[in-house]
Amino acid sequence: MPQDRDNLAGTVCWQSPSNIALIKYWGKHGDQLPRNPSISFTLKHSFTQTRIHYRPKTNKDQQISLNFQFEGKENKGFQDRIVQYLQKVMDYFPSLQKIHLEIDSTNSFPHSSGIASSASAFSALALSLSDIELKTSGQDSPIELFNVSEIARLGSGSACRSMFPFAALWGKFNSIESSTDRYAIPMGTEVHEIFRTFHDSILIVSRESKKVSSSLGHSLMDNHPFAEVRYRDARKNLQLMLDALKVGDIESVGFLMEMEAMQLHALMLCSNPNFILLQPNTLKIIDLLKRFRSEMKIPVFFTLDAGPNVHVLYPGENAQVVQNYIQSELLQFCSEQNWINDCVGDGPIKIE
Ligand code: PMV
């Protein structure tokens, strides 16, 4: 379709959340393809908002033309990463050859909170770019979320799971026909209602940026002595997790979630080279949480990303008592008593 110059100018804005994996993706191959399938809850309050003003480019070359600001300030590191990403996804977005982009991205959580922001950042960016492509090519069809999930995956694997409300599964898994390594699929209807009420209180043990980059972390699996065992176990855990999620078996979901978190860190501890991403306060919190659970008989469980912060997950009906406990007993082990009180959410939204 011929591009009218008027179509080449405008503004789009998307807000997209982070997600927390219950079954972890760890190890990749090819162009960001997972070695094993994973499933996550979509979060609500930890999100990235990406606003893009676009206009016709003044020079005629086919290079990316971009000015990137993070939280209102230029950021050379992020700008370079985004240029690289835009070059990679150019085939999906032919309009990028014709337009200049002014991108402004902000996170709802402090950047230095140690929260992995790549899932929310790349999903918000992929949504905004897809929206621009539709507008500049004069199409008024809605955004195709599987497509956008695939494009987000090329920036950060876990970003492809942020696209859907409540829960998403990414990676080919034989018992789910529509599953694929290329993009995530929504799992909301396969998960019991009780999990819609789930909270994820993220206890910020350290605000330092990641010790191990995501790519280095995944590459540790390439010659890992336990790689095959892990990939097999992840599949076994995923089936058990799906069964438990479906029937609302909170205990089994919690048990599997914790096992996955521990396996992720155990794999890192015996990688070559090895990494210790847990901190003394991470272990202290986990220990206290287990004690609290068994004394109070409350279904409260933890999971971890590739870092020291602890995600504490529990049903809404226990929110008051768990949050009181977090505030009185656990915040002392957090960096400057920092925590993010998140919960499962409905996925990305377009900001008009
Ligand atoms: O999407 P990446 O490349 O940042 O990897 C995410 C890895 C974990 O957070 C540890 C697990 C997961 O499935 O989200």
pTM of the complete model beyond 0.85: yes
Atom of ligand 1 nearest to the CA of 157: 1
- Among 22, 25, 122, 220, the mutation site with the greatest number of ligand 1 atoms within 8 A of its Cβ is 25
- Angle of helix 250-269 relative to helix 227-247, nearest 10 degrees, comes to 160
pLDDT in tens, 52-109: 999 999 887 878 999 999 999 998 888 999 999 999 999 999 999 999 999 999 999 8
- Among 36, 38, 230, 305, the mutation site with the greatest number of ligand 1 atoms within 8 A of its Cβ is 305
Q: Tell me, what's the pLDDT at 60?
A: 79
Alpha carbon distance 232, 236 (integer Å): 6
Of 139, 142, 167, 188, nearest in space to 17 by CA:
167
Q: Tell me, what's the pLDDT at 113?
A: 61
More confident residue, 6 or 161: 161
In this structure, the residue with its CA closest to atom 4 of ligand 1 is 214
Averaged pLDDT for residues 143-172: 98
Pocket of ligand 1 contains residue 214 by CB under 6 Å: yes
Pocket of ligand 1 contains residue 21 by CB under 6 Å: yes
Write the DSSP symbol of residue 209: P
CA 157 to centroid of ligand 1, rounded, Å: 7
Share of the chain above pLDDT 70, in %: 97
Q: Is the pLDDT of residue 217 over 70?
A: yes
Share of the chain above pLDDT 90, in %: 88
Pocket of ligand 1 contains residue 153 by CB under 6 Å: no
Pocket of ligand 1 contains residue 281 by CB under 6 Å: no
Pocket of ligand 1 contains residue 306 by CB under 6 Å: yes
Q: Is the pLDDT of residue 264 over 90?
A: yes
Alpha carbon distance 42, 22 (integer Å): 11
Rounded to the nearest integer, the mean pLDDT of the chain is 95
Q: Which of 36-50, 70-84, 245-259, 265-279 has the lowest mean pLDDT?
A: 70-84
Cα three-residue angle 162-309-213, rounded to 5 degrees? 65
Q: Is 118 helix (H, G, I), strand (E, B) or coil?
A: helix
Write the DSSP symbol of residue 176: B
